[in-house]
Amino acid sequence: VTFDRRAGVDHSSFWDVTTGIKNPAVFTPPTLLRQVFQDFGFIDEVKMQADKGFAFLRFNSHENAARAICGMHGKIIGSRSVKCSWGKEKSGLGMMPPGMPVPPLIGVPGGMPGSGFPAGGLAPFPFPPR
Tens-place pLDDT, residues 46-74: 999 877 889 999 999 999 999 999 999 99
Characterize the bridge pairing of strands 76-77 and 80-81: antiparallel
Question: Residue 50: what residue type?
Answer: A
Q: What pTM value is reported for the model?
A: 0.62
pLDDT tens figures, 72-84: 999 999 889 999 9
Give the number of residues written for the chain: 130
Q: Are 71 and 40 in contact (CB under 8 A)?
A: yes
Task: Identify the CA nearest to 58 among candidates 72, 79, 76, 40.
Answer: 40
